[in-house]
Structure 1
Amino acid sequence: MSDKISDAARTVFGRDRLRAGQREAVQALLDGRDALLVQPTGAGKSLAYQLAAVLIDGPTLVVSPLLALQQDQAEHLEAYGDRTRARRISSAETPKQREEALAAARDGEVEFLFLAPEQLANDAVHAAVSSMRPSLVVVDEAHCVSSWGHDFRPDYLRLGELLEGLGARTIAMTATASLPVRTDIVDRLHLTDVSIIVGGAARENIDLSVERCVTERDQEERVVAAAAAQEGSGIVYVSTRKAAEHYAALVADAGRTTTCYHAGLAKKAREQAQADFMTSAVDVVVATSAFGMGIDKPDVRWVLHAHIPESPDEYYQQVGRAGRDGDPSAGVLYFRTEDLSLRRFQTVPVPKPSEVSRVLAALATRPDATAAEQAEVADVSLRKLQRIANLVIEAGAEGETVGVDEVRARAEGYQTLQRSRVEMVRGYAETRRCRRQFLLAYLGESDTPRCERCDNCRSGAAAAEEAQDAAAPDSPFQPEERVSHASFGEGMVISVEGEEVVVLFDDVGYKTLSLPTVVEHDLLEPLDA
């Protein structure tokens, strides 16, 4: 290795070899372009931005939603020496410590400054960050900016406008992003001349399978038996807090050292549960989706889903917590048709007109108040105020007055999207195709080979489906193509597999359509780019 990227990798970070995607991302930034890097956890996304940072003059701003992850990365960078000095500003620091960190970044004493999106939204912090004139901005967990995604976070909504004023090149990074999420990230972060690097999503070492369950008792017995029999560390995902505690007790009774994790637990209890699992003090954690971002235990051998996840995106990310060390691992979904109704019911409800009206009034009359004060004025919970305030931003263009009907229409559209994603999970559970192919097609990676590791590949069902697909006529549609439907409106083609085409419509979410029927009746009209 002799070029400057390779030299920096070796001399600063002790790396003799770069992984796929790292060089492309760094080179794009060195060329003055923005970049979107989509790669699974453990594939080296962090090194990509760190390499670019030491090769580009000026400080680097890292926007990350997790305090623990910020601290880990900052300490990791500090260990490499003076060229990678790092500081953090967050709610965990005192005002004096935050001021000192900002001053150090402004004066060129540190290369990396970590902060959360809500910190950047603070006017004083934003002004201080602007004065330090960052040359590179890193947005970690960038899928959180997209309302199409499974982990949308309102704090990310203003990032685009906040970053635009800084004038720095930007790299957005995420482990999971389907085609519409990628488009949304680029649009919302105002990325320009962007290089999109996607790869490594297959995770070939994970054996995927689905078990059909007849009754709730059948489902429970199978999950507990599997958790008891599997070797090594594992995660059992469930859909409710009550189920987390129930299954944790059952798995413990079956002889496994077990802990429980959900958002209803006290912060100290959650931290203890996570620490116990990460240090292997316990073998199994039974958890809701609250157990997720920032969890990077390399030797998780299996992930069981006692209930269906809310979307294929969420499933891919959760099952992908297995086998990060590259060793053989397993992901099993226990599917019961009745669980679909529960997931639809769990989608975020549309706020009542009176709630929206009160929040709109509070936002208008108390614009400088804290969110907690605005929530008190509106007589709603803080969480509900934040959700409605987010819908207000989503529903209206800049400078536009938004009314109750527009806000509720946006909420209804989002609810429809969420429910359509539940149907895509049904598609995964019921498909006879290669399960990895199904997930990768949903995420925008088409024409991938059969994995030969899932239950459908082992049974021969996937090969039979592929043979049938080969006899089908070629599709006139391609992934990422914009189309229009008379009833569903405009949308984007997500995947074409055999005689099925999946389209994500702007107004009604995901729809799986019969390709022969679409072609025969001209149901989809391609839109000019």
Structure 2
Amino acid sequence: MAENEKVSFDGIGVAEGCADELFDADKAVQAARAGFHVSYLFPWQRIVIANIMDGEAALQADSDFSENHDDDDLYRGRQIVLLPTGAGKSMCFLVPALLLEGATLVIYPLLALMSDQKRRMEQAGIRCVVFKGGQTAEEREENFSALEDKENPARVIIANPEVLCGENLLERLSKVKISHISIDEAHCVSEWGDSFRPSYLELGRVIKTLGVKLITAFTATASKPVLDRIGEILFDGNYHLVRGASDRANIHYAVRYAYAKKKAALELALTMKKPLIIFCGSRRRTEEMAHVCSSYFGREKTRFYHAGLTREEKRAVEEWFFNSTDGILTATCAYGMGVDKSDIASVIHLDAPEHLENFVQEAGRAGRNGANVNSVLIWNHADFVRWRQAEEGSRERALGDFALSKTCRRQMILDYLGGEETVCSGCDICDVNAKNQKISYKAPDAELAFNFIRKNRRLYTRQEATGELTELFNKRNLGIFGINVWDAKDTAEILSQLFSEKKLRICGTFWKDRLDIIKKKKGKNLLALIPRRHLHRLHHLRRNFLQVQERARQLLS
């Protein structure tokens, strides 16, 4: 993070005290009430809005203010806003859009999100235009005509990073008066810019080409490395950080240890409150999990969502889930950004996201209405292997640290994100600690399978054991599901991970192809206790003993 970065926490500090002296916050409330029927702005919303409007005022007095006042707490005009999901980030740039002289350019990561936000803005009476790939010359001209309308100009420009990399459009936009640029879901700059969406790395150049001095980047979750990367690309390392409370106190965090993840998710879905999202790591996994759920709950209760769907299919699923009170949606991360469904009650993370920030983003889709909700991560041995291979202290290791934590999961998230210390309002570890109990980090399905093989050592082949265990699991869970839901694939998944753990082996010779457990050697290796400098004497004594033993055998024969 930049050395001259200034931080505001929950509206407390210099920024809040000075902001009211320069910008009348009541103007923001009046604009919010008139444009969005919002009668109250939170302290962090007031700070962000005040920073933008004060920057506009400073620009009118000094067009080079951002260069002349880089070390000033207030007149920076360049800020990263870190607020939890559902905290009302959109108000922070839409209210100024009604007050600023020029247009506001809002950069979104997804086309579906752009369309959704355009619809919402138009419903609020805000005229806006959308620039995206595939538009005709006539559509582009209509947009510019709307921006240049003298009587009722468009107040908001909606675009994505890719379209802004087009030189012709960028040159044309540079001639439009743009007062403020807002980058939504700014963590994508770091998450995607260095991998499959390099256009995010061009946003710094886009900002300079457009000549806009007021820049605000919004995100719900970002660790220090992510913030540093965002600041480097967008602000040349020089930015102001506004941070709200990082804790979503209404989310209860828990980890479920299971090797057959889909069946664990199905069992959770049976008891967890709906509407419910099951986040999956790939399109294939999304469709497979949807099939498992629809086979049990019925097709009318389950849908899947990923980037491979057509626009019409996505819209149909979004509309179905938005109106559902008891639906189960299996989805990749393609669903979520900016989706405004406030009553999601539960989130299941079938596959461990790459980073802890992604996990927090997924969990944050629930409980936007303030209701108490649940987030459950399913963790297995394959996840453990990936965690073990990650570098100590790296972002890739953080989620495993969370899953294997022996202390409060909520506080671990807050510590990782640089947040505040808090009293836990709900996590599985603190729940069991309050009962003077201990949490088990063992997967019950793996324990059952291992104990079955141990009791039946060298009795079954792998295929035979799969069949026997599948039947055993179905008998065990019949009281839960009422029908047989386990199949051979689930059991095979458990056995594969037990082999990976080196807990099982396939015998040879007389017990050929039979399964057996691998016993752990007990006790210490005595040779390891002997200093290396004395080992040669031990080997010399052993040779002498063998020679004497052989001589004695010859004499006695």
Paired position in structure 1 for 2:288: 246
Aligned residue pairs total 389
State whether structure 2 residue 428 is matched by structure 1 residue 455.
yes
Name the SS of the counterpart of 1:339 in structure 2.
helix
Paired position in structure 2 for 1:359: none
Q: How high is the TM-score relative to the length of structure 2?
A: 0.64
Cα shift at 1:2: 7.0
Paired position in structure 1 for 2:507: none
Cα shift at 1:208: 0.7
Paired position in structure 2 for 1:205: 250
Distance 1:116 1:452, change over 3 A: closer
Paired position in structure 2 for 1:128: 172
Paired position in structure 2 for 1:26: 49
CA contact (8 A) 1:106 1:131 kept: no
Deviations 1:448-505 (A, max 9, x none): 113131111111189999xxxxxxxxxxxxxxxxxxxxxxxxxxxxxxxxxxxxxxxx
Deviations 1:151-191 (A, max 9, x none): 97322110101111222211111222212212221221126
Of the candidates 186, 189, 196, which is equivalent to residue 145 of structure 1?
189
State whether structure 2 residue 96 is matched by structure 1 residue 52.
yes
Cα shift at 1:317: 0.5
Distance 1:343 1:262, change over 3 A: farther
Cα shift at 1:426: 1.1
Paired position in structure 1 for 2:160: 116
Cα shift at 1:332: 0.8
Distance 1:34 1:419 in 2: 30
Cα shift at 1:312: 0.5
Name the SS of the counterpart of 1:460 in structure 2.
helix
CA contact (8 A) 2:387 2:400 kept: no
CA contact (8 A) 1:228 1:254 kept: no
Cα shift at 1:438: 0.9
State whether structure 2 residue 331 is matched by structure 1 residue 316.
no
Q: Partner amino acid for 1:9?
A: A
Distance 1:94 1:53 in 2: 27
Of the candidates 384, 406, 411, which is equivalent to residue 437 of structure 1?
411
Distance 1:149 1:122 in 2: 17
Distance 2:416 2:196 in 1: 18
Cα shift at 1:445: 0.8
**Residues 257-406 of structure 1: pairs in structure 2 closer than 5 A:** 257-280=301-324, 283-341=327-385
Distance 1:192 1:279 in 2: 43
* Stretches of structure 2 lacking an aligned partner (at least 5 in a row): 1-23, 56-76, 439-557
Q: Partner amino acid for 1:120?
A: L
Distance 1:37 1:174 in 2: 6
CA contact (8 A) 2:170 2:210 kept: no
State whether structure 2 residue 402 is matched by structure 1 residue 428.
yes
Name the SS of the counterpart of 1:158 in structure 2.
helix
CA contact (8 A) 1:235 1:284 kept: yes
Paired position in structure 2 for 1:178: 223
Distance 2:437 2:78 in 1: 43
CA contact (8 A) 1:308 1:339 kept: yes
Name the SS of the counterpart of 1:31 in structure 2.
helix
Paired position in structure 1 for 2:28: 5
Paired position in structure 2 for 1:90: 132
Deviates more, 1:332-341 or 1:314-323: 332-341
Paired position in structure 1 for 2:264: 222
Deviates more, 1:146-155 or 1:37-46: 146-155
Cα shift at 1:297: 1.5
Distance 2:237 2:358 in 1: 28
CA contact (8 A) 1:302 1:322 kept: yes
CA contact (8 A) 1:276 1:282 kept: no
Distance 1:231 1:424, change over 3 A: same
Paired position in structure 1 for 2:466: none
Q: Partner amino acid for 1:28?
A: N
Distance 1:151 1:461 in 2: 43
Distance 1:331 1:143 in 2: 21
CA contact (8 A) 1:210 1:429 kept: yes
Cα shift at 1:19: 1.5
Distance 1:73 1:246, change over 3 A: closer
CA contact (8 A) 1:107 1:132 kept: no
Q: CA RMSD in A?
A: 3.0
Of the candidates 240, 247, 269, which is equivalent to residue 195 of structure 1?
240
Deviations 1:286-330 (A, max 9, x none): 223333323331111111122322111111001111111111110
Distance 1:91 1:23 in 2: 35
Name the SS of the counterpart of 2:415 in structure 1.
helix
* Stretches of structure 1 lacking an aligned partner (at least 5 in a row): 346-415, 466-529
Name the SS of the counterpart of 2:367 in structure 1.
coil
Cα shift at 1:57: 1.3
Deviates more, 1:140-149 or 1:449-458: 140-149
Distance 1:21 1:149, change over 3 A: farther
CA contact (8 A) 1:70 1:88 kept: yes
Name the SS of the counterpart of 2:210 in structure 1.
coil
Paired position in structure 2 for 1:504: none
Q: Partner amino acid for 2:172?
A: A
Deviations 1:341-393 (A, max 9, x none): 46899xxxxxxxxxxxxxxxxxxxxxxxxxxxxxxxxxxxxxxxxxxxxxxxx
Paired position in structure 2 for 1:162: 206
Cα shift at 1:126: 0.5
Q: Partner amino acid for 1:277?
A: F
Distance 1:301 1:198 in 2: 26
Bigger helix share: 2
CA contact (8 A) 2:391 2:397 kept: no
Distance 1:266 1:60, change over 3 A: closer
Distance 1:93 1:271 in 2: 20
CA contact (8 A) 1:261 1:286 kept: yes
Distance 1:271 1:334, change over 3 A: same
